[in-house]
């Protein structure tokens, strides 16, 4: 059995985050000792590691909740888990595409000669022109 501090150290999840996961039902409430301190089992540690890995991959709380539900039914098809992962992957690809466009634009505006005056600054002009165009 682990204290919340030991569980946090074992999993790399901060204590307030562990409490939050308990509060929202992502992690089951732990047992308590005679001093009313939380006590976590190895299974709790594994569940928290599962949650952390999902969060590290950028999955939403809702997706992780669904994956936990699926994990609790090992005889079911893996199709729903694939659907969740594929949807997340598509979202990541959209974000990467947007970041590539941002990178291209920032490269464009930073590759100009560094003029001495703000009036001639490509970065300021680009931002000002964009602001005027989107009004």
Question: Hey, what are 1's tokens?
Answer: 């059995």
Report domain 4-110's class: mainly alpha
Whole-structure pTM value: 0.79
Mean pLDDT rounded to a whole number for the chain: 90
Residue-level pLDDT at 119: 75
Torsions phi, psi of 39, nearest 5? -135, 125
| SS3 assignment, position 72 | coil
Confirm if 4 and 40 have CB atoms less than 8 A apart: yes
Q: Domain segments of the chain: what residues?
A: 4-110
Residue-level pLDDT at 122: 79
The residue behind tokens 């909740």 is 65
Confirm if 74 and 49 have CB atoms less than 8 A apart: no
Please write the tens of the pLDDT for every residue from 2-58.
999 999 999 999 999 999 999 999 999 998 988 889 999 999 999 999 999 999 999
Read off the DSSP letter of residue 119: G
CA distance 45 to 71: 15
The residue behind tokens 């089951």 is 28
Residue 39's DSSP bridge partners are: 31
């Amino acid at each position: 059995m682990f204290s919340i501090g030991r569980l946090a150290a074992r999993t790399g999840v901060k204590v307030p985050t562990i409490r939050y996961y308990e509060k929202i039902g992502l992690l089951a409430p732990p047992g308590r000792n005679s001093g009313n301190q939380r006590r976590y089992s190895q299974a709790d540690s594994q569940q928290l590691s599962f949650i952390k890995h999902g969060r590290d991959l950028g999955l939403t709380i809702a997706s992780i909740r669904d994956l936990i539900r699926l994990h609790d039914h090992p005889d079911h098809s893996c199709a729903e888990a694939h659907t969740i992962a594929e949807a997340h992957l598509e979202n990541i690809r959209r974000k990467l595409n947007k970041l590539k466009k941002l990178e291209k634009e920032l490269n464009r505006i930073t590759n100009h000669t560094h003029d001495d005056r703000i009036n001639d600054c490509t970065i300021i002009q680009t931002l000002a022109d964009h602001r005027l165009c989107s009004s």
